[in-house]
Structure 1
């Protein structure tokens, strides 16, 4: 906010001299965005004397020194002066940045843990949901009651009729750990947010961001239960039906997690590596292609990850376990087997896997092109390192995907592949932030 100083100059010479001693400017006024508006006692004048005071060229033209005293102006004119100066914007506490960074790390862990839960088919072991968490069984009788609840639902009836009591405990623990970690994220998000908000440590724009983050955390928890509920419904009647959660709800659940993670990481970078306050955002032609492609890689990483959720939801990684061809063909015969055609893209395992392959290869090509362009652009060391790391991670992620496919989706490789998508997204967010920093030119 600009600071405004109103000074009324009386006719008394003694008061004028006293005031002039208080209004002596001891610092150079050059290169300051200020205006000195002068009005006489009888009416406002249109003269703006600040150009002769604060502009460097004017100071040299009129032989005005770097240090300027306002006393001469005040003594010779009975004036009312208003002095406006731009002050630096207040900064958000770095503690807020570290908090957001910690929450993003917790979300990263939750995504990996959720992937392991899905791969081990543990997600449907807990058939109830409570806002503050389910009580863990503490004795054999309580465990038996929990097992009896599980036996009433489709996964046991049509798939796990031969599951042992000890195996049930193991998958129950997996799902319990995932849900408990999700609630821990909620506590780590809401409680510090309330504290920072109450203590006035959040700027207006950061308040909006934090409110959105909290909303996403709440939506993520509700979507998680909505997803699990789809696998508990009695809709699996055919002999080939496999009880599983809806691939649509799984994709929505994963999408919210990725959006929340990218938002938290981006918010942390804005606090820990802030844009200069006294600067203007410039358009730099050399960075236009880098900026556009960096955002494209970020979007393609997100879309590819969402398509991976459909692969996981339909167990599409278990069909056509060959690369680069799918079986003996580049384009499988059953790629459009469903009718209407649009259903193939979200319900046909063959089509879903093919789409994921194409999106993964496209993301790899875009990240590699971005790295080649970055070598010929005026980037900072940080931005250049981010572009290099992004391209390297894209190749590693592609390798993990191929290995996961060829090995028939082992848990360790598949979980690493899902974690790799988050690492790739993190590097894309970092790169876009570093490139934007380069566009801020000090005034």
Structure 2
């Protein structure tokens, strides 16, 4: 009897299916994934997250206002800068006084000599709104930051981010004036010169704004909807993480190259696509000496580079979408990838349309704002795949 029981037991063990190797690996890998306890997100963290989101929203508007200011050629209308802010002219006498100051600088002398006081009011108002909005960002950041800090709402990591963001906001104001100052200098001796701000300072100002926006938006996402760990079967980790980071970096680089296009009015040369005039590569791309000057100072080369970077960005976003199309991914990650893909093509369409229509202000503003929307989606995707782990096929 005992022998029969032992025999039956051994037969039952043989009938029980053994766990496959990939199942064992999956269980081991899942145990290694860091977990996020959503229940531990406190009301104070949500409040801080909404504040970070508000800061990023205000920076987004500031970038749009800066684009309009540049496109309407209003940036050099205010020839003074005060830390506490300039007073808006109220009477006609005040307007005449501000206009008299403006008349002493190259933009009026070489370009706007026939401008009237009424025409001056418009460009002054555009620059005034842009500056005041920048100062409003400082107030919106500083007052809640001091309150939250005192109440202990910030962890050690968040405190470092707050200090960095505060420093960047302060530097942005100084960088803005440093940029404007380059267009007020008496270095435009040729009557055919077009007084404008330095394209290098313009690109630096825009890059700092993009960094400020990216940091504040990333902090908001980490507070309001933390990333969730998940596992993907893939031969190489590069498939998603590497490609998404490359796409994000290319979005940023393309946007900064757009600042050089705006700074040199390079969008007004070769208003055709896909060719530049009758050629794929124009003959005047390397006419400046030394040769490296062409990359940032020759309008033809600057536009050509922006085109190539834009095409590369769209190609990377499309490759990312194709690579992940059949992967089993979380819903939010899928949404983020689709958003990057759709916005990349929308942004490219806006850019080409802006070029073909000789850079109208509404389209050009939409194109600049579109770069920030695309960067937002790329940041969202990076946030979603933060805790991604891979299983070998």
Give the corresponding residue for 2:102: 150
Give the corresponding residue for 1:399: 349
Distance (whole Å) between structure 2 residues aligned to residue 322 and residue 202 of structure 1: 52
Distance (whole Å) between structure 2 residues aligned to residue 384 and residue 271 of structure 1: 21
Of residues 245, 257, 277, the one that matches 1:295 is 245
Unaligned runs of 5+ in 2: 1-36
Q: Highest CA radius of gyration, 1 or 2? A: 1
1:133 corresponds to 2:85 = yes
Asked if the contact 1:379–1:435 (Cα under 8 Å) also holds between the matched residues in 2, the reply is no
Asked if the contact 2:232–2:329 (Cα under 8 Å) also holds between the matched residues in 1, the reply is no
Give the corresponding residue for 2:13: none
- SS across alignment from 1:322: coil
Q: Structure 2 matches for 1:217-366, cutoff 5 A?
A: 217-275=169-227, 285=234, 288-366=238-316
TM-score w.r.t. the length of structure 2 is: 0.86
Of residues 383, 387, 400, the one that matches 2:337 is 387
Asked if the contact 1:380–1:438 (Cα under 8 Å) also holds between the matched residues in 2, the reply is no
Q: How much does 1:97 deviate?
A: 0.3
The structure 1 segments of at least 4 consecutive aligned residues displaced by more than 6 Å after TM superposition are 87-90, 281-284
Asked if the contact 2:232–2:327 (Cα under 8 Å) also holds between the matched residues in 1, the reply is no
In structure 2, do the counterparts of structure 1 residues 396 and 90 end up closer, same or farther at CA, with 3 Å as the change threshold?
closer
Listed one character per residue, the Cα deviations across residues 392-439 of structure 1 (whole Å, up to 9, x for unaligned) are 100000000000000000000000000000000000000111111444
Asked if the contact 1:298–1:425 (Cα under 8 Å) also holds between the matched residues in 2, the reply is yes
Distance (whole Å) between structure 2 residues aligned to residue 317 and residue 423 of structure 1: 21
Distance (whole Å) between structure 2 residues aligned to residue 136 and residue 299 of structure 1: 40
Deviating more after overlay: 167-176 vs 235-244: 235-244
- SS across alignment from 1:93: helix
Listed one character per residue, the Cα deviations across residues 84-120 of structure 1 (whole Å, up to 9, x for unaligned) are xxx9988661100000001101000000110000000
Distance (whole Å) between structure 1 residues aligned to residue 144 and residue 250 of structure 2: 33
Q: How much does 1:180 deviate?
A: 0.4
Flag the structure with more relative contact order, 1 or 2, with Cα contacts below 8 A and sequence separation at least 6. Answer: 2
Bigger strand share: 1
Distance (whole Å) between structure 2 residues aligned to residue 163 and residue 423 of structure 1: 36
Deviating more after overlay: 116-125 vs 137-146: 137-146
Listed one character per residue, the Cα deviations across residues 290-347 of structure 1 (whole Å, up to 9, x for unaligned) are 1111111111000000000000000000000000000000000001111111000000
- Aligned residues between the structures: 351
Distance (whole Å) between structure 1 residues aligned to residue 138 and residue 150 of structure 2: 18
Query: What's the RMSD between the two structures over aligned residues?
Result: 1.8
Asked if the contact 1:379–1:438 (Cα under 8 Å) also holds between the matched residues in 2, the reply is no
Asked if the contact 2:232–2:388 (Cα under 8 Å) also holds between the matched residues in 1, the reply is no
Unaligned runs of 5+ in 1: 1-86
In structure 2, do the counterparts of structure 1 residues 99 and 90 end up closer, same or farther at CA, with 3 Å as the change threshold?
closer
Distance (whole Å) between structure 2 residues aligned to residue 268 and residue 90 of structure 1: 13
- SS across alignment from 1:436: coil
